[in-house]
Amino acid sequence: MRMIKRTDMTKRKAIKIRTVAIIAAILVTSVFIGSIGHNPFKVYISMIEGAFGSGYRIRDTLTITIPLIVTSIGIMIAFKMKFWNIGAEGQIIVGALFASYFALNFSYLPKVVLLPLMFIAGFIGGGLWALIPTFFKVQFGTNETIFTLMMNYVALKWVTYLQYGPWKDPASMGFPKIANFEDSALLPKLFGIHIGWVIAVILIIIITFMMNKTKQGYEISVVGESVDTANYAGMNVKKIILSALFVSGGIAGLVGMMQVSGVNQTLTTQVAAGYGYIAIITAWLSGLKPAIILPVSLLFAVMIKGGSFIETAYQIPQAASDILQSVILFFVIGSEFFIQYKLIMNKRSKKEVA
């Protein structure tokens, strides 16, 4: 048996494959739900209710969707060049750290001055953190997957150090906690949700335009398709990769700023909340298309929020909820393989059979 690249895939066939995958996921997870003593139909309904059952739950679901969208957009830029940036988690953390420095030390500034400073700081922080592995990649050919992954843990330890040391709040009664931000450092809300959702929509528009209509977007696509072709065309490949990864990490850094300013209202070790890892999947499932990232991220947010709800509603352990989400992901991601490739059986000659 061997696999070959598909050349006959149509939208209708792709929809059929994805539909079959979703049905298969529902059947398999139904068996699992039944095995732990619950009605699968009721559990699925409860997941939807947990995500959309009230105004509060809808706002919570959308609050999860925002960082997934923005992080996915950042990762998408790197993936377009086939630079496997697995470090968005660390870039979120460093962006949050840079933004928090201004929030904690310049809270006397008016909101209209401080918030833009925090956005710029978050972007620069995430961008610089992405530049470190990128520099070693273009100069020495290091493995960016391992490098960016390891840097996630370094970023996390920096925040842990600050939380237990220099930035520890003296008023926390000995508890290792960074002080809450003043109102001047908090993102305003629109329709009950912090304005990060507006930024997410603007980013989708800007990056779609950049990738499809600008020289920079074209260069990123060419480098992703073939470095040799880019060199032959006279492109400065190193400069393109470095600048694109700075933007990729910077966008992830914006997520860190929005999380500390709009959600947590302080800096903690949980600021990234795993969004950097989940966004790898959402970016890939979107086909690296910014407009498709939005609905894919929303679906993942529904799974996260709905999974959390059924843990409480049915008194099931978190591991059971994680299994449900993982099985669904397994089938959805698996369907993408069959959209891109097909398996064919190798024909054996009569002599081989004999």
- Residue 133, pLDDT score: 95
Band of residue 21 on the pLDDT scale cut at 50, 70, 90: confident
Nearest to 224 by CA among 200, 253, 245, 254: 245
Q: What is the mean pLDDT of residues 254-261?
A: 95
In a domain, 137, yes or no: yes
Band of residue 345 on the pLDDT scale cut at 50, 70, 90: confident
In a domain, 160, yes or no: yes
What are the residues facing 3 on neighbouring strands?
A: 343
pTM of the model: 0.88
Q: Does residue 350 carry a pLDDT above 90?
A: no
Indicate the residue type of 166.
Answer: P
Mean pLDDT of the chain: 89
In a domain, 8, yes or no: no
- Residue 183, pLDDT score: 92
Domain that holds residue 221: 66-290
Q: What is the mean pLDDT of residues 162-168?
A: 91
Q: What is the mean pLDDT of residues 168-187?
A: 88
In a domain, 161, yes or no: yes
Nearest to 156 by CA among 279, 269, 267: 269
What is the spatial distance between Cα 182 and Cα 115, in angstroms, rounded to a whole number?
A: 12
Band of residue 311 on the pLDDT scale cut at 50, 70, 90: confident
What is the spatial distance between Cα 247 and Cα 88, in angstroms, rounded to a whole number?
A: 12
Q: Does residue 316 carry a pLDDT above 60?
A: yes
In a domain, 227, yes or no: yes
Q: Does residue 227 carry a pLDDT above 60?
A: yes
Q: What is the mean pLDDT of residues 146-152?
A: 94
In a domain, 177, yes or no: yes
- Residue 354, pLDDT score: 54
Give how many domains the chain has, as a whole number: 1
Q: What is the mean pLDDT of residues 210-219?
A: 91
Eight-state DSSP code of residue 216: H
- Residue 288, pLDDT score: 85
- Residue 306, pLDDT score: 87
In a domain, 230, yes or no: yes
Band of residue 75 on the pLDDT scale cut at 50, 70, 90: very high
